[in-house]
Amino acid sequence: MIFPDEDRPKVTEILKQAILAGYRYIDTAPMYATEDLRASGVPRSELTVVTKLVQTQHHDPKASLRESLARLGVGYIDIFLMHWPNASGEDGRWRSIEESPTFVETYKKMEKLVGAECRSIGVCNFSQKTLDVLLKECTIKPVVNLIEVHPYNPNLKLVPYCLERGIRVISWGPLGGGPKSLYFDTSPMYSHPTLTSLASRYNRGIVPIPHSASRARMDENLRPVSLTDQEVEQISNMHKQIGQRRLIDSVPFAWGEVPGKGHAIMGWTVQEMGWEDAAGNMLV
């Protein structure tokens, strides 16, 4: 989530309350404008700090890492993630999938950063298609793949694909943006009989990234909920009734027209991203 400057004092207090409640995984990124929110009474060694590679710096991940370290005021990052496989130039033009730096070229540069200042590396928003390419070329396997996972987009094939290869799955948007989602109307999901009778936590080996301004809800999020295999399957199959949607589809600045390719996200077609087949069917 991206926060405007006027909200930063409020966000600082929210993060302090989250850490006091017991949260230890801190997910940040330069584009979220949250990296310099440092207030915490917890030793650095108890926190898992994650940040992401800026898309305009795919040619120089080291510079992006150093800038993040400075903003965060820490000596090392626990997990440094490639935010998207798509690269952008400082001129604002999205690079095509064939143009350098490719995500493989960028990841190889990230591998060289693993050490004292960068404990591990991973990726975000990678599909099975892009992971297939990366895993054939990399020498350090991504520790995580942070992807969109919720009942509208359960990624039933990608999640086990990652887990079988020892890649941890972290979910962004696990609740589809919530009952008052800014992305699209989620009322069909929240009124679905499955969710009205079951807890909305998954039991699929996925780490969800919750966000809340309420200390009470922060405490609730830390209380584990175990679902039966049947209940998990019911949630995973909800997309068959409520439809399939991606949250990122509702982010206007991410999309545009590419000459010769048509509608694309950050310069790539959804087929190049590995999100849909040639007929336009979502690969869930």
* Cβ–Cβ under 8 Å, residues 167 and 136: no
Token pair in block for residue 268: 């790539």
Q: Cα separation of 207 and 203, whole Å?
A: 9
CA-to-CA separations, 18 to 21, 23, 42, 179, in angstroms, rounded: 5, 6, 11, 22
Contacts of 58 (CB under 8 A, 6+ apart): 82, 87, 88, 95, 101, 103, 105, 106
Rounded CA gap, 79 and 123, in Å? 10
* Cis omega (within 30 of 0) for bond into 101: yes
What does residue 117 show for φ and ψ, rounded to 5 degrees? Answer: -95, -15
Q: Choose the catalytic residue: 23, 25, 32, 76.
A: 32
**189, 242 Cβ separation under 8 angstroms:** yes
Helix (H, G, I), strand (E, B) or coil at 207: strand
Q: In whole angstroms, give the CA distance from residue 132 to residue 145.
A: 13
- 59 annotated binding-site participant: no
Q: Does 202 qualify as catalytic in the annotation? A: no
Reduced 3-state DSSP string for 18-69: HHHHCCCEEECCHHHCCCCCCCCCCCHHHCEEEEEECHHHCCCHHHHHHHHH
Binding site members for substrate: 83
Binding site members: 83
* Residues annotated catalytic, as ranges: 32
